[in-house]
Structure 1
Amino acid sequence: MPERTRIDWVDYAKGFCIIMVVMMHSTLGVEKAAGAESWLGHVVAFARPFRMPDFFLISGLFLSRVIDRDWRSYADRKIVHFAYFYVLWLMIQFAFKAPGMMAEDGVGGALGAFLLAFIEPFGTLWFIYLLPIFFTVTKLLRGVPSWIVLIVAAALEIAPIHTGWTLPDEFASRFVYFYAGYVFAPQVFRLAAAVIDRPALAVVGLLAWAVVNGFAVFGGFSELPFVGLGLGVLGACAVIAFSALLSKADLMAPLRYCGQQSIVIYLAFFLPMAATRVLLLKTGIIPDLGTVSLIVTAAGVVVPILLYWAVRDTRLSFLFKRPGWAHIDRVKAGALAPAQ
């Protein structure tokens, strides 16, 4: 079956979101290590209401194309696929962090932390841990009226659920956006088309949104019940509109490519991010923390892509492509499924 044609604005949206995610981890890591805030922290704060909502909404956007498949085929593409990359990159991340864990808590403590990662997502990998759960729940709820699911999902987002366990906390906070992407996919595509047709009006709308979002974030009430949900929805629409405008002119092809490789970046950004942060802060060659955070962000985005290019036609391609043995559905012997 031929691969579906990619949709440029979707790739722009994914590229924008993955860079925002890397920027958040990079900036907060630099600020924590330096014990001071940076100007880039204001950008991270501005993006907080919409950064992950849009990522999850986009993740649910094409679900209608596969949700009616039999469970074996569906599970292979939407559950086993992400489970493979979670386990693989869990082991890779753990290999780098285990020496420090063993020095602090002994071998037993490190082993316990590894086993705990199967019920409490490890490090930065919580997004791909949660995705197969969202795919499973959505298929199980296939026979339930979508308006009921949306109301319950919205109620979960609004409710103050803070157990300290990532799975229920993030499920409650994010599922409404993923499900909305699935249910409202036609409306989302119509929004993008309307933006492309009337770019001037879209720019005015984006400016108005930026004022509202900034006022809520820096006014200190962006995380209030109902407000957070509203900002998440508006922000997701804003990212879609912004991405549609970019796709109209296609002036930022590197950003679009980052969207095409968003999972590659997500899986591998932790190591170049950490290494660059340590190098820059220890040497002190760049005194401005905002600039340091920006360079760390760039390393976290660019190095995974370079790694992907280096291994994609080698025996190490399994880092970003799922090998045939990791399928439960029928595949050609030796076939590889890319991370996306």
Structure 2
Amino acid sequence: MTAKKERLDWPDIAKGLSIFGVVLLHVSLAIPEGMDTFVAQLNRFLDPLRMPLFFLVSGFFSAKVFRLSLRELFLSRLWFFLVPYVIWAPIELWLKFREYHMFDGSEMPGIGRYLGQLLTGTGMYWFLFALVVFNLILWATRTLPSWGAVLVSFSPILLLPLHSDVHMVGKAVLYLPVFIIGAHFRQKIADFAAGGTSVRNLSRSLILYAVAFSVSSSWVYLNTVAEISVTWPLPGPETINYFDLRLVVNSVVQLAMMPMAIMFAIMLSKVPVLSNGLKFLGRHTLVIYLGHPLALTVLYHYNMRAVDLPISRDAESWLNSTAFWMVIGLVISAIGAFVLWIITQIPYLRWTLMPPRLPFWDATPVQQSKESVKAEALELKVARE
């Protein structure tokens, strides 16, 4: 019974932990001196786990892609990422461009700017674009052995010098491998999670985490004592530097940290109140992710930039305190998520976030093994909860 509960709980807790870290990061960046607060510094420990954990779980529940045709992939999966992306990404961009226009004197961009950012996955909602691209790559590599698919997942490294100009290149270097591993090694991950916090699981996870942390720290230290430059053998620049190579280092470090991240999620599942809260967040990831930046822009940035209120960590008045506005920022983020949740309860409007199946859906069920049926039933159960 315990193992079953952990298998059902840890993905939601992992997503909840991930989305809370994302919101806290964005609030910390928005509030003056927010990144210097204790909670922001604590949140930095989640940097190697936050988005990788999200994409690991996303890949874990994408194994059904192996059984789909390209048409079925679009109808039963990509459609549900594309609709909220195409509708809400331009809204978020417009609100942010309007802020720059009002307070920085920038001109409002034309439709070409919006299309350019949408088609390159540049913007706050890049993760939806990434899920579309990653699922397509997963489908394209479905017939490869697992090791071959993982090898392909590292291929964005070949485009490494482009990451500063093409936003999605950097994201693919960082998160495509963990997504592909989540899908191709779903059963191994499930078996690992079913083992819970056994001595074997914990010891191996801690060793991998310690090694990964040491590599990451050594890499950062190396940059402070030497100028890192490596000859680039492919077309493009002659050399690549620390900022290019750290994407590759971070990608490998994150992978090594994933077992400990799963262990952490399982340990949190044993803390009653906290686990319920994280599961709640994990089951409402979409509205939280889409809603909080909209609310921060409209309710915080529009108003605070208009009044130009000085805010600092050592302010004498609570009204000028960074800590106070960090709390307000989290409340505002919750309001944004709540508003979008309300939209999911309104007929027709809810389709902007949770689109209906297309009317020409007529995919023929594929013959599945008993294990596939059980896996899909588990996916549906987790999704509905």
1:255 counterpart = 2:278: yes
- The number of aligned residues is 323
1:110 paired residue number: 110
Write the letter of the residue equivalent to 1:183. H
Which consecutive unaligned segments of at least 5 residues does structure 2 have? 222-244, 312-317, 364-382
Distance 1:35 1:21, change over 3 A: closer
Question: Residues of 2 paired with 1:55 and 1:158: CA distance?
Answer: 24
Indicate the RMSD between aligned Cα atoms, in angstroms: 3.5
Q: Displacement of 1:84 after TM fit?
A: 0.6
Q: Displacement of 1:77 after TM fit?
A: 2.4
**Greater mean deviation of Cα atoms: 50-59 or 275-284:** 275-284
Share of identical aligned residues, percent? Answer: 21
SS of corresponding position for 2:355 = strand
Q: Displacement of 1:257 after TM fit?
A: 0.8
Question: Residues of 2 paired with 1:277 and 1:42: CA distance?
Answer: 22
1:175 paired residue number: 176
Match for 1:307 among 339, 343, 355? 339
1:232 paired residue number: 254
1:68 paired residue number: 67
Asked if structure 1 preserves the Cα contact closer than 8 Å seen for 2:100 and 2:106, the reply is yes
**Greater mean deviation of Cα atoms: 233-242 or 220-229:** 220-229
Question: Residues of 2 paired with 1:22 and 1:299: CA distance?
Answer: 11
Distance 1:262 1:30, change over 3 A: same
Normalising by structure 1, what TM-score?
0.79
Structure having the higher Rg: 2
Q: Displacement of 1:183 after TM fit?
A: 0.9
Match for 2:297 among 253, 269, 274? 274
Question: Residues of 2 paired with 1:134 and 1:13: CA distance?
Answer: 19
2:58 paired residue number: 59
Q: Could you give the per-residue CA deviations for residues 218-274 of structure 1, whole angstroms, max 9, x where no partner exists?
A: 666397476423420233222211111222454321210110111121111102233
Distance 1:224 1:314, change over 3 A: closer
2:190 paired residue number: 189
Q: Could you give the per-residue CA deviations for residues 21-73 of structure 1, whole angstroms, max 9, x where no partner exists?
A: 12222212324xx5973333423432222221111111110222243123222
Write the letter of the residue equivalent to 1:89. W
1:245 paired residue number: 267
Asked if structure 1 preserves the Cα contact closer than 8 Å seen for 2:28 and 2:326, the reply is yes
1:147 paired residue number: 147
Question: Residues of 2 paired with 1:18 and 1:80: CA distance?
Answer: 22
1:23 paired residue number: 24
Q: Displacement of 1:306 after TM fit?
A: 2.0
Which consecutive unaligned segments of at least 5 residues does structure 1 have? 332-337
Asked if structure 2 preserves the Cα contact closer than 8 Å seen for 1:20 and 1:51, the reply is yes
2:95 paired residue number: 96
Normalising by structure 2, what TM-score?
0.71
Asked if structure 2 preserves the Cα contact closer than 8 Å seen for 1:154 and 1:229, the reply is no
1:12 paired residue number: 13
Q: Displacement of 1:308 after TM fit?
A: 4.1
1:132 counterpart = 2:165: no
